[in-house]
Amino acid sequence: MRKLLYIFLGLVLAVGLKAQDQAQYNHYIGNQGILNPAYNGTRDVISGLIIHRSQWLGMQDAPMNQAINVHGPIEDTNLGVGVVLENDRLGFSNNFNFMGAGSYKLKMGRNQFLSLGLQVGVTSSVYDGTKAITDIYGDPMFTRKESILGFNFGIGAYYYADGYFGGFSIPRFFRPTFDEAQDNEGSFKNTVSLESLHSYWYGGYIFDWGEVKVKPTALIRTVVGAPLTFDLSCNVLLNERLWLGASYRSISEVVFLTEYIINRQWTVRYSFDYSLSKIGTFGQYGSHEIGLQFDFSFNKRAGMRSIRYF
């Protein structure tokens, strides 16, 4: 079984499993600064986020990723800036992204804004196929160690008002691909391929239902040549402190979401997702994601000047 698992993970890298070529997050609305460069600077404070995600616990060498995002507005301008650091381990591959983001905010109406964003940086990819246990002898994918450092960039747009929001992004245009040469050697190259571009479309709104607030959201991932995937989520805010919710991911996963607002400066998030497909028999302990967000201001009153639910 272990041998089959290594072969499976190796093939995931060999064919570039498009459904998860980029890291996925359960709290995608809380992690918008990582997902979309246009979100950076749209809050009225300096905001930061730290995330750790362990996927398919119980499976050896299962995917794991961490991310840090810090961003804020430039006072007395329509500009925002941010930085994103993201580390993603998948099988025999480890990808690290360092991106600097900038955004420009346009006022579209009363309390309605459109932000356009661009991020630029580098991607470091390390691949070690020698860890594979396989009967595919002589395959260059399983007989080499490779590392590559290359330029990357992404774009995004974000529209928001008091009670609703929507966004679109292509976080990264470049990705490492394996180019097999005629001599059966080949190498990894940092290239742009329209068939590999990941685009994200998402949105949601907030409304009052009795004494609680309800926040339904949706996210769609598209990759040319791969099936469309989506997340449908709904969260409820209790006592202005505790968010509880659930989500369904179209690759047959259910997600349970929690978020606790400690105060205007600190918010902690945790989620658990479990695969309903056969892969759940390997990652039998599910996937776990934890995040910590902070919001600070240089004004006399620290923290958010107005409550933001997205």
Taken in order of first residue, the domains within the chain and their CATH numbers are: 2-296 (2.40.160.40)
From residue 278, how far is each of 12, 24, 63, 177 by CA, in Å? 16, 19, 17, 28
Q: Which of 27-31, 198-202, 300-304 has the lowest mean pLDDT?
A: 300-304
DSSP 8-state class, residue 269: E
Round to whole Å and give the CA distance between 266 and 264: 6
Is the pLDDT score of 9 beyond 50?
Answer: no
The pLDDT of residue 89: 87
From residue 271, how far is each of 42, 54, 231, 247, 257 by CA, in Å? 25, 11, 14, 10, 5
Contact assessment for residue 273 and residue 251, using Cβ atoms and an 8 Å cutoff:
no
Band of pLDDT at residue 179, cut at 50, 70 and 90 = low
The pLDDT of residue 140: 63
From residue 71, how far is each of 20, 95, 222 by CA, in Å? 26, 22, 26
What integer best gives the mean pLDDT of the chain?
84
DSSP lists the bridge partners of residue 127 as 93, 146
Position 280: which residue type? G
The pLDDT of residue 1: 37
From residue 63, how far is each of 11, 53, 113 by CA, in Å? 14, 8, 36
The pLDDT of residue 217: 97
Is the pLDDT score of 11 beyond 50?
Answer: no
Give mean pLDDT, residues 49-64: 86
Which phi and psi angles does 35 have, rounded to 5°? -75, -35
pTM for the model? 0.85
The pLDDT of residue 16: 36
pLDDT digits over 185-234, tens only?
Answer: 556 677 887 777 899 999 999 999 998 999 999 999 998 778 889 999 99
Band of pLDDT at residue 12, cut at 50, 70 and 90 = very low
Most confident of 31-40, 49-58, 177-186, 299-308: 31-40
Is the pLDDT score of 273 beyond 80?
Answer: yes
Round to whole Å and give the CA distance between 50 and 69: 7
The pLDDT of residue 7: 36
Q: Which of 8-12, 63-67, 153-157, 306-310 has the lowest mean pLDDT?
A: 8-12
Q: And the tokens for 271?
A: 């989620």
Round to whole Å and give the CA distance between 86 and 28: 14
The pLDDT of residue 299: 63
User: Is the model more confident about 117 or about 227?
Assistant: 117
Position 123: which residue type? T
Band of pLDDT at residue 91, cut at 50, 70 and 90 = confident
- Per DSSP (E only), the strands in 15-63 are 46-54
Local structure of 309: helix, strand or coil:
coil
User: Is the model more confident about 55 or about 5?
Assistant: 55
Length of the chain counted residue by residue: 310
